[in-house]
């Protein structure tokens, strides 16, 4: 028996590490998978295996990784041996870090290891458990080129949706941040200088001017304290949300917000459906797929539904029925899944669900942004109007006294 140290990804999307005795690496992998763990790094002895982290300098863009999958798929489909295909792809890579990772994988494959085992041994966190499981299933069925192409399509769709959502949200986010920064600067440093003459004139100040002077004085005296308290609040909130009870309450709160809750819910359903379709089409069994899916959805409430669904699937309950118990899936999605179970075209139905709700999420996000823009303009107009009145009214009074 040999002692092995391991770093693995569990069904809840968390990294775990430990040491265990086994005859060889293969037996250890079987033991870990039996417990619902997906090993990423295995080493002999009781050495400490660090968390898989990609440094800022060695960062790999999603587009670069997708191109790697696409090129490797093309070469493998041309009946080129995997080692030669990896060698050819390595020479064409421009990202030095990705080239180094692929070179290590190529070396392990040339030494007789399977492609999936070589991917598992990497600590770079570039290759998700979804991809590793799809490759392992493809190695048994002999369709590695198809799986690589499917995963490249999966990655491209995910990146495309992410980029579209980010491009939609960029404008209101930038406007909000810049507006808050400008107002803070005006109230703290500019307005006190302009209104100082009003305070020294011993005039009966209008209500707007008095409010402005009090606000400006408050920000001028306590701006450092405000920033400090705001930072403490953000830090404490983020830390609480990372706890199990905090994340559950935060997700429950988000799912109660009108309009916004519907977007979050359907985005998770689309992500779940797209990923499950990719796993099933790649030859991964349903129970293993559900163990992986718990780590890719955002809502903890949805995670609970997935855990309950996985238990029900093990008892032979149909997927559509067990998902309906969670009250998270829309009725249209459940109807499509039920149709997929009856027709045997589950992957196609899941892809349709993903297409449907990704489009709906994009449309509703654009609608939300289109509503935010006039609201932000009106709000900024009201604040500017308040500032103008607060400054001009005392000037009018001073001009009246001079006459």
pLDDT bin (cut points 50, 70, 90) of residue 61 is confident
pLDDT for 48: 47
Ranges of each domain in the chain: 2-44, 62-127, 143-403
Token pair, residue 230, equals 């705001």
pLDDT for 111: 86
pLDDT for 270: 86
Tell me: pLDDT of 249 over 50: yes
Q: 3-state SS of 234-284?
A: HHHHHHHHCCHHHHHHHHHHHCCCCCHHHHHHHHHHHHHHHHHHHHHHCCC
CA distance 29 to 11: 15
35 within 8 A of 18, measured Cβ to Cβ: no
CA distance 252 to 249: 5
73 closest CA partner among 89, 62, 60: 89
CA distances from 325 to 36, 240, 276, 390 (A): 24, 29, 19, 58
- pLDDT, one tens digit per residue, over 70-87 is 888 888 888 888 888 888
CA distance 275 to 336: 16
Tell me: pLDDT of 232 over 90: yes
Higher-confidence position of 16 and 353:
353
Determine the length of the chain. Answer: 403
Question: For the domain 143-403, what is the CATH code?
Answer: 1.20.81.30
CA distance 136 to 151: 13
SS3 6: strand
């Amino acid at each position: 028996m040999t002692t092995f140290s391991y770093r693995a990804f569990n069904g809840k999307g968390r990294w775990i590490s430990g040491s265990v005795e086994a005859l060889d690496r293969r037996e250890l992998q079987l033991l870990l998978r039996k417990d619902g763990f997906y090993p990423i790094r295995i080493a002999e002895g009781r050495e400490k295996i660090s968390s898989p982290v990609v440094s800022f300098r060695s960062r790999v863009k999603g587009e670069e990784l997708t191109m790697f999958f696409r090129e490797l798929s093309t070469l493998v489909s041309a009946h080129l041996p995997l080692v030669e295909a990896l060698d050819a792809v390595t020479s064409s890579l421009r990202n030095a870090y990705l080239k180094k990772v692929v070179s290590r994988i190529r070396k392990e494959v040339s030494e007789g290891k399977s492609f999936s085992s070589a991917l598992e041994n990497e600590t770079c966190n570039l290759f998700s458990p979804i991809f590793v499981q799809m490759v392992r299933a493809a190695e048994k069925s002999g369709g590695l080129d198809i799986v690589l192409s499917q995963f490249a399509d999966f990655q491209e769709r995910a990146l495309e949706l992410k980029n579209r959502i980010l491009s939609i949200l960029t404008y209101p986010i930038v406007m909000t941040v810049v507006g808050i920064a400008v107002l803070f600067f005006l109230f703290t440093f500019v307005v006190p200088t302009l209104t100082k003459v009003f305070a020294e004139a011993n005039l009966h100040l209008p209500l707007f001017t008095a409010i402005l002077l009090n606000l400006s004085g408050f920000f001028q005296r306590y701006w450092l304290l405000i920033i400090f308290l705001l930072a403490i609040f953000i830090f404490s909130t983020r830390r609480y949300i990372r706890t199990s009870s905090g994340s559950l309450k935060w997700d429950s709160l988000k799912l109660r917000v009108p309009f916004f809750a519907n977007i979050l819910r359907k985005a998770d359903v689309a992500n779940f459906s797209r990923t499950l379709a990719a796993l099933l089409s790649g030859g991964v069994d349903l129970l293993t797929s559900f163990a992986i899916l718990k780590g890719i959805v955002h809502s903890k409430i949805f995670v609970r539904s997935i855990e309950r669904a996985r238990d029900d699937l093990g008892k032979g309950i149909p997927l559509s029925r067990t998902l309906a118990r969670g009250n998270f899936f829309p009725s249209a999605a459940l109807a499509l899944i039920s149709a997929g179970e009856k027709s045997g075209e589950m992957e196609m139905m899941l892809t349709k669900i993903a297409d449907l709700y990704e489009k709906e999420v994009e449309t509703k996000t654009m609608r939300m942004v289109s509503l935010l823009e006039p609201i932000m303009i009106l709000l900024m107009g009201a604040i500017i109007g308040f500032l103008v009145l607060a400054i001009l009214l005392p000037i009018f009074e001073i001009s009246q006294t001079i006459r």
